[in-house]
Amino acid sequence: MRIVNIVGARPNFMKMAPLLREMRRHPEITTTLVHTGQHYDDRMAGQFFRDLQIQQPDISLEVGSGSHAFQTAEVMKRLEPVLTDVRPHVVVVVGDVNSTVAGAITSVKLGIPVAHVEAGLRSFDRSMPEEINRILTDAISDHLFVTEESGRENLLREGVDAAKIHMVGNVMIDSLEQSRPVWERSDVVEKLGLPRGGYGVVTLHRPSNVDDPATLRGLVKALGEIGRRLPLVFPVHPRTQSRLEAVDAESASAGGSGARYIAPLGYLEFVGLMASSRLVLTDSGGLQEETTALGIPCLTLREHTERPITVTQGTNRIVGTSPDRIVEEAMAVLAATQAAMARPPLWDGHAAERIVAILRNTWRGGATPTDRTHAS
């Protein structure tokens, strides 16, 4: 069974790592890992490959940065001859980045089945490029692996055949649990001189937050207010760094914002930092899930989420970008006692096993395991 696995950006790596690990357990599976190069900076890609012990890519397309249209088109142009040469039985794409939709379209055009991991998530905000990628990828995929019940409901509402939809859990949590023995031993908190349980973590990268100077100034202002009560550490995405430099230098400086800016961290160090924090403020979808699994309060600095289970059954609050609202919600979190939360169904560290079992049985022509059966 030949499987081509496509990754392109940092969020993809955490999702692909447990799938590759599980595929390698089965001698009948031959994997080809294609890295499109959508994220090519070592801090954004290379370090994550090392931390997650992902094999070096078999093929690197080296697409690099560019507009959404440029990246999508370049991936398609460079991927087509790879797929024609390998002739895989299935192509696996993960998440919602440009490489995801480009990989799916290219495969389908060649008549190759597509498996989409993390299917069905919807923010219902089509101004988000990721939302367009999710909708298009799901519409043309043959296997749709969903992380939460909202994903199944969204796909059924869009007319997807129920037989294509599989509730399997969350591969992000697989990576979290598989690497737990390492990140629990991380000394990143001590190296940064932070008090365990007494600091907050900030990440920002979405264009709607960092490309609008007025919005970014408002967020920096809110961080300044919160920082007077709780030390904040902010691993700065390279894209965000350039935007911060364009904002008023005084308010965007570490002293003025109340946040301590540091270089991006690898996966293991970042999870170690997040796991010992009191609060996370982010616009990342993946961090909404990871904080839910870790029981860390999360304030999502967006108006919508495509992961509603992190709100209904997790630690996440959607607070928007109003500085006053952000500060108010942060103070409420700090004043409250942290309550233990149960994890969402099937977020148990075994999603990759279920996914690979379904793909193997489909290839063999056997019956698909029931959605909630733990694959052996």
Catalytic positions? 205
Provide the CB-side half-sphere exposure for 108 (13 A, CA): 18
Are residues 94 and 7 in contact, defined by beta-carbon separation less than 8 angstroms?
yes
Give the residue carrying structure tokens 């309060």: 297
Are residues 271 and 296 in contact, defined by beta-carbon separation less than 8 angstroms?
no
Q: Which residues pair with 35 in a beta bridge?
A: 7, 60
Are residues 262 and 284 in contact, defined by beta-carbon separation less than 8 angstroms?
no
Report the distance separating Cα 123 and Cα 134, nearest Å.
10
Report the distance separating Cα 76 and Cα 109, nearest Å.
10
Helix (H) or strand (E) holding 166: strand 165-167
Report the distance separating Cα 298 and Cα 369, nearest Å.
35
Question: Which tokens belong to 118?
Answer: 């993390």
Which amino acid type is present at position 119? A
